[in-house]
Amino acid sequence: MSAIDPRAVVSPSAKFGNCVQVGAFAIVGDEVELGDGCVVEPHAVVSGPSTFGRKNHFFSFSIVGGDPQDLTYTGQRVRLEVGDENEFREFCTVHRGTIKGGGVTRLGSHNLIMAYAHIGHDCQIGNHVILTNGAQLAGHSVVEDYAGISAFCLFHQFVRIGAHSYIGAGTIITQDVPPFSLIVSERQTRCFGINKVGLERHGFSPERIGVIEKAYRYLLRSKLNTSQAVEKMRGTLADSEDVQSLIRFIESTTARGLTK
């Protein structure tokens, strides 16, 4: 027996297995088939034609099975096919296929699609894949089993992501990623100086800002290493509580290190 909240909108053509749950204000569209134990949380949207296996979980505000974002799509009958025990987290989007791409977007089983992630039309996703928050797969991408895709990664159309590969956060992928590999964009994040405008807006006087600037010159512009820069600050700027706060922060830096 399925449990459908009376405030949900469910198409007459939708088909449910056993023990399906649909929450308040959720929408289950035309030609959607939900297997046993699927859960559609309040405000989630599941559109068709699409088929889902057992125990898929659609969290609030996820939109799964929507029309493809492709200018050639004009209402053709295209599909989404999904296996078992996938999680679609808040605000993620998964689109159906296009005729030119074969007409079907596919996801296997045991995948985790985190918040704001996107799976474009005609993508082919294997099993045990993780798409972390904000990862974006353009159309026709292929992701093989156990691939891990970190937050805010961007993927060009038609790329392939090999099995058991891992892609670090913020990486832009324009070529195929080989299986078992570790991929990450170059990291060039560095400190350019103090947030002078922000400090002025928060009432820091020019003199106070000047002292902080001098401390940062020791830290960033001199030939001193971090420990030597801290000792220089202690020797010349010890009267400044702002500098003392900076020193305390530096000396309690985590194992991840200090951005310089």
Cβ burial 225-236 (10 Å sphere, 16+ → b, else e): eeeebbebbeee
Question: Could you tell me the two tokens for 15?
Answer: 């088909």
Give the class (CATH, top level) of 196-251.
Answer: mainly alpha
Q: What is the mean pLDDT of residues 182-199?
A: 85
pLDDT in tens, 72-81: 999 999 999 9
Q: Which of 49, 82, 89 is nearest to 68 (CA)?
A: 49
Q: Give percent of the chain above pLDDT 90.
A: 84
Q: Is it true that 3-183 and 196-251 share their CATH fold?
A: no
Q: Residue 70's pLDDT band (boundaries 50, 70, 90)? A: very high
What is the distance between the alpha carbons of residues 80 and 93, in angstroms, rounded to a whole number?
Answer: 12
- Please name the helix (run of DSSP H) or strand (run of DSSP E) that holds residue 216, with its range, or none: helix 206-216
Q: Which of 123, 206, 133, 134 is nearest to 161 (CA)?
A: 123
Question: Could you tell me the two tokens for 229?
Answer: 């820069």
Distance of CA 45 to the CA centre of its chain: 19
Give the domain ranges of the chain.
Answer: 3-183, 196-251
List of residues 6+ apart from 25 with CB closer than 8 A: 5, 7, 8, 9, 42, 43
SS3 content of the chain, % helix, strand, coil (to 5): 20, 25, 55
Q: What is the mean pLDDT of residues 207-220?
A: 92
Give the side-chain half-sphere CA count within 13 A for 161.
37
What is the distance between the alpha carbons of residues 19 and 36, in angstroms, rounded to a whole number?
Answer: 6
pLDDT in tens, 135-166: 999 999 999 999 999 999 999 999 999 999 99
Task: Note the pLDDT of residue 253.
Answer: 83
Task: Note the pLDDT of residue 55.
Answer: 98
Is residue 92 within 8 A of residue 75, CB to CB? The reply is no
Q: What is the mean pLDDT of residues 206-216?
A: 93
Active-site positions read: 121-122, 139
- Please name the helix (run of DSSP H) or strand (run of DSSP E) that holds residue 235, with its range, or none: helix 226-236
Which pTM value belongs to this model? Answer: 0.84
pLDDT in tens, 12-55: 999 999 999 999 999 999 999 999 999 999 999 999 999 999 99
Task: Note the pLDDT of residue 136.
Answer: 98
The single-letter code of the amino acid at 137 is L
Strand order in the sheet with 154-155: 9-10, 27-28, 45-46, 63-66, 93-95, 118-119, 136-137, 154-155, 172-173
Q: Give percent of the chain above pLDDT 70.
A: 100
Give the class (CATH, top level) of 3-183.
Answer: mainly beta
The single-letter code of the amino acid at 43 is H
